[in-house]
Structure 1
């Protein structure tokens, strides 16, 4: 296996930092009345939107990233902020039905 390039190491270390921050943020905002499902939605929401903030260029100035659909060579970033759109689709807590 080929060794990683410096920029690849920086990318994966940034992902590591995002994961850790998402877990601790979710735990810090966890309330005893929240369900385990709420905790998991919160942690995954934070991690996923943070990855898209990275792709959008807000997290690490050394990483200029894009997300490209390869067969059509179309950037999924075109005309949008990925993290904003991502937030429109993801849950950050479970949908509780109140009687």
Structure 2
């Protein structure tokens, strides 16, 4: 495995934990008759949790940002990503 910086390792560990948590929730819904709804729920929870990670709402307390390269502005400027994603993600 490649040697990562401490922050990089925390980031990927947090992603792993998000995946595991969402997977376990989906696994407990094994009698789900509507596979389409299940897949939307799983992907929504994953995306929402990643946005929370960027907004700093995780136990890792990482201070992350997403920067647009062209103008070097933050996508988080004046918003909380996880609050906005509910308007766009099913």
TM-score category, normalised to shorter length: 0.7 to 0.9
Quote the RMSD (CA, aligned, Å). 1.9
Residues 72-83 of structure 1 aligned to structure 2 (within 5 Å):
72-83=71-82
Q: Is the 8 A contact 1:27 1:39 kept in 2?
A: no
Normalized against structure 1, the TM-score is what? Answer: 0.80
- Whether 1:3 and 2:3 are equivalent positions in the alignment is yes
Normalized against structure 2, the TM-score is what? Answer: 0.87
Look up the match of 2:16.
16
Q: State the distance in 2 between where 1:69 and 1:17 align.
A: 26
In structure 1, runs of 5+ residues without a counterpart are: 92-99
In structure 2, runs of 5+ residues without a counterpart are: none
Aligned length: 89
